[in-house]
Amino acid sequence: MRLLTLLILVAVLIVSVPGSAATPTACAGPVVMSFPLAAASAPEPVHLGRGLVLQAVTGDGGWELQVFKAGDTERRDNRLSPIQNWHGAQPFLVTPYMASIYPDERVISIRGTSASICVRILNGRIEGGGNDRRYVDGVVEVRWSGPRG
């Protein structure tokens, strides 16, 4: 009984962490960015509402989604990161390694706002092994929950 109580408590804590990919919120809002997982170059950045910019940069056989304040010209404070100095697995990383950790649909809070993005990986296919794993097919779709402007 004690083990069951502990497991329930851990599950509640995981779901309640802000920005957690386990947050049971459905994808909402319009699609603001969509691109092939195996694209050779990044899509153009998208200006969201509230002075925010969404961009995707390539790395680790996939992509890192980033949201910055429009005035952050050095792009140093990704608002999808829970803190400025993050490490390890993060839901805004769309890589073959993260595919085994996070679901293909994940809602990520934008720090400092009430807005969020929803990342959907559609028909993602990975080939290779170890450090050579790469996406070879599929699409990333990003939706925006806040007002446009």
pLDDT in tens, 63-122: 999 999 988 877 788 999 887 666 788 999 999 999 989 999 999 999 989 899 999 999
Residue 89 domain-assigned (yes or no): yes
What pLDDT is stored for residue 72 in this prediction? 82
Backbone angles phi, psi at 2, to 5 degrees: -65, -40
In a domain, 78, yes or no: yes
How many angstroms separate the CA atoms of 62 and 3, rounded?
38
Cα–Cα distance, 136 to 133 (Å, whole number): 9
End-to-end CA gap in the chain = 52
Predicted local confidence at residue 35, as pLDDT: 97
Which of 65, 69, 61, 59 has the alpha carbon at shortest distance from 80? Answer: 65
- Mean pLDDT over 2-15 rounds to 37
Backbone dihedral angles phi then psi of residue 132, each to the nearest 5 degrees: -95, 10
Give the pLDDT score at 14: 39
pLDDT value of residue 88: 83
Kindly state whether residue 3 falls inside one of the protein's structural domains. Answer: no
Q: Is residue 2 part of a domain?
A: no
Helix (DSSP H) and strand (DSSP E) numbers for the chain = 1, 8
pLDDT above 60 (res 8):
no
CA distance 83 to 79: 8
Q: How many domains does the chain have?
A: 1
pLDDT band at 5 (very low <50, low <70, confident <90, very high): very low
CA distance 87 to 91: 12
Distance (Å, whole) CA 30 – CA 142:
8
In a domain, 6, yes or no: no
Domain range for 86: 19-144
Q: Looking at this protein, which amino acid is placed at residue 147?
A: P
Mean pLDDT lowest among 44-58, 69-83, 122-136: 69-83
Residue 116 falls inside a structural domain: yes
**Domain annotation covers residue 30:** yes
Query: How many other CB atoms sit within 10 Å of the CB of residue 138?
Result: 17
Higher pLDDT residue, 63 or 5?
63
Asked if residue 14 belongs to a domain, the reply is no
pLDDT tens digits, 14-38: 333 444 444 445 787 899 999 999 9
